[in-house]
Structure 1
Amino acid sequence: MCIVLVTTAHPKYALVAIDNRDEYILRPTSRPHWWTAKPESSHGTNGSANGANGANGHAETKPPSDVEVLSSRDLQRAERGTWLGITKGGNFAVLTNYRETDTNDAAHPVHGMRSRGGMVTAWLRADPAESTEHFVHRMLDDGGVKGVGGFSLICGKLRRVPGEKNIEPLAIISNRCDHAGQVPWICGQRGSIYGLSNATYLEGRDESKDPLWPKIRSGTDMLSSAVATASDEAELVASLFKILDTDNFPSDHTIDLEEGIPLLKHSIFVPAFGGKEHQQEMCEAQQRGEVKQTGHDSPGAEALMVVARPDEQLNGFQTGLYGTQRQTVILVDWDGNVTYTERALWDCHGNPIPRGEGDETFKFKIEGWEQEAELRN
């Protein structure tokens, strides 16, 4: 039961985003790295955004340049999707699952034919000229989310609005939305804090309707305090990881997943837990240590060591213990400089990694940070 918290309330940073990826600890996952993607078609994007007018007065389009993406990648499914990522051009996306309560609902499968992580990469590898608004319509109006398990996706272009102390708003797409008019938009104003977990965004906020997500309330409260009190970047990052480590889960970590799922709405951090069968699978993975070499998609990248497990389980990967597998902190300052830190809590064998020893940090400047979006729909 993942959680993402974002804020525009810090005076130095245009955006602060933090995320816990809760997953089966043994699910094969790469470390964060830069990889290159061929932009996907935006189906109906105005060609004039990509080329100059020819002699006949019509736009002569040219293929967009390759997109450079920073993310970890899910190595379990063929799509090689992700839960969170950002491009050098500022396309940003982070996804949480929707907690299905009816496992027999054919219209909303727990484990879809298509990967949820592919929804994130659909935006990360989109034509850089495509606007967030166009992408929202493309995904919802043209059936781009059909066949995917329940999810919510925060996505948008990290851009400073010219002449303002604001960034362009981010959309929250869900396949519980019937059309683009139901999509919430966030982060377009200063001083705001938002939280998203495993309900839709509006459900998770309306406790009178569905009081399921106390960790959203506590997380946003703690984030508000952190951005108000941290004196420098190092202190801020430390306080943000402290929020992500907030553990209100029961001390008994041997309960079955079915018993533990209702408790996850209370705890930002989820310690690895599972019943006897999953405990045994975890021990076997640690003792066996069967790994294979798998390279990154980008040339010259360092090879990965990943557990080799085919994705043949009816409801997705469900091997070993479940808990918080990765943690991410992203800071974007008013000059468009990004600090992206991902913390791995487990190695590929299911052994715990001491806090900080699994950290990887990337720093870069968003290209076109203060350019007005090329496409408006």
Structure 2
Amino acid sequence: MCILFIAIEQHPKYPLIICANRDEFHQRPTQAMHVWQESNILAGKDLQAGGTWLGLSSTGKFAALTNFRKLPLSEAPKKSRGDLVLQALVDTKINMTAELAQQASQYHGFNLIYGSLKQLYCYDSVNNQSHQLSDGVHSICNGALDDIWPKMARGEKLLSETIRSQKNLSIEALFDLMTNDKQALPHLLPETGLDEEWEQLLSAIFIKSPTYGTRTTTIITQDVEGNVETYDRSYAPSGECITKQQFNLATVFD
């Protein structure tokens, strides 16, 4: 998972809107979003390491992960960060933040968004900080919470404009936002240790290249009555949408 935009209490009909893109190498084997019967979660699956990047539980928990892009990485063997999403979705501990702080050194840097759909938190493992997400529009990418990289600022602006302009929220408008492939100007690129060509490629909300790019977009909405809908689309290396799915949280686990 590479970028998320989360709007909390910004739309009169939808107090929670989550828009997320997962960026990954195209050769990495992946299973699209589905119900994991053994653990009662709805998530895609990384078939290489066995974890996931984003999911929902039957009890209304949400979790999603972004990698913290800070090179060079430690050469010491580390666990797969996708396991953390699974832990957060099935966790019954009172203090998840303390649990994450104890485990953080076992993984390369990450941001984990977790909690109930009514109360979300973001844990930044590099700075060992956890924040409850307040009312407003948030972006989480590959740096600290609400770092303002160009694509994050663009997405926040587009999401805010979409919300303000639409009394009846258009899911297609949200997908349009998440497939915006405009790249940043070179002098505005963040410095994360990658060469400029990679920084340029990764500066778009929607990334397209033959080897690496946006594999999945997931949109989650919760309305004022508590109904949760999830829309999930997968893409080919060309950026063409190849699968579309929709799930209702109240019925998907039946």
Give the structure 2 partner of residue 156 of structure 1: 115
Structure 2: distance between partners of 1:154 and 1:264: 25
Q: 2:200 aligns with which of 263, 281, 286?
A: 263
Deviation readout 1:204-243 (Å, 9 max, x if unpaired): 14xxxxxxx111111000000111122434xx21111111
Structure 2: distance between partners of 1:231 and 1:194: 20
Give the structure 1 partner of residue 26 of structure 2: 25
Give the structure 2 partner of residue 70 of structure 1: 42
1:177 positional shift: 3.0
1:336 positional shift: 1.7
Kept in 2: contact 1:25–1:272 (CA 8 A): no
Gaps of 5+ in 1: 38-66, 159-166, 206-212, 251-256, 274-320, 367-377
Kept in 1: contact 2:12–2:167 (CA 8 A): no
Instruction: Kindly name which structure, 1 or 2, has the bigger radius of gyration based on alpha carbons.
Output: 1
Q: Secondary structure at the match of 1:341?
A: strand
Q: 2:175 aligns with which of 241, 258, 263?
A: 241
Give the structure 1 partner of residue 89 of structure 2: 124
Q: 2:97 aligns with which of 119, 133, 136?
A: 136
Identity across matched positions, percent: 30
Kept in 1: contact 2:16–2:223 (CA 8 A): yes
**TM-score, normalization by structure 1:** 0.60
Gaps of 5+ in 2: 185-193
Deviation readout 1:113-144 (Å, 9 max, x if unpaired): 201101111111213xx44xx1111221xx22
Give the structure 1 partner of residue 234 of structure 2: 344
Distance change (3 Å), C-alpha of 1:267 and 1:353: closer
Structure 2: distance between partners of 1:327 and 1:124: 20
Q: Secondary structure at the match of 2:173?
A: helix
Aligned pairs, how many?
241
Where do 1:1-377 residues align within 5 Å?
Answer: 2-8=2-8, 9-37=10-38, 67-77=39-49, 80-103=50-73, 105-106=74-75, 112-127=77-92, 130-131=93-94, 134-140=95-101, 143-158=102-117, 167-168=118-119, 170-178=120-128, 182-187=129-134, 189=135, 192-202=136-146, 204-205=147-148, 213-233=149-169, 236-249=170-183, 258-264=195-201, 266-273=203-210, 321-346=211-236, 352=238, 354-355=240-241, 357-365=242-250
Kept in 2: contact 1:328–1:342 (CA 8 A): yes
Q: Secondary structure at the match of 2:103?
A: coil
Kept in 2: contact 1:249–1:271 (CA 8 A): no
Q: Secondary structure at the match of 2:32?
A: coil
Q: Which structure features the higher share of strand residues?
A: 2
Q: Secondary structure at the match of 1:145?
A: helix
Q: Secondary structure at the match of 1:358?
A: strand
Distance change (3 Å), C-alpha of 1:267 and 1:157: same
Structure 2: distance between partners of 1:33 and 1:214: 32
Structure 1: distance between partners of 2:15 and 2:239: 31
1:264 positional shift: 4.3
Kept in 2: contact 1:7–1:194 (CA 8 A): yes
**TM-score, normalization by structure 2:** 0.87
Kept in 1: contact 2:139–2:152 (CA 8 A): yes
Q: Supply the AA of the counterpart residue of 1:239.
A: A
Kept in 1: contact 2:180–2:205 (CA 8 A): yes
Structure 2: distance between partners of 1:229 and 1:335: 22
Structure 1: distance between partners of 2:208 and 2:140: 20
Structure 2: distance between partners of 1:152 and 1:90: 20
1:12 positional shift: 0.7
Supply the RMSD in Å over aligned alpha carbons. Answer: 2.2
Kept in 2: contact 1:215–1:265 (CA 8 A): no
Structure 1: distance between partners of 2:227 and 2:131: 26
Q: Supply the AA of the counterpart residue of 1:124.
A: L
Q: Secondary structure at the match of 1:26?
A: coil
Q: Supply the AA of the counterpart residue of 2:100.
A: M
Q: Supply the AA of the counterpart residue of 1:263.
A: Q
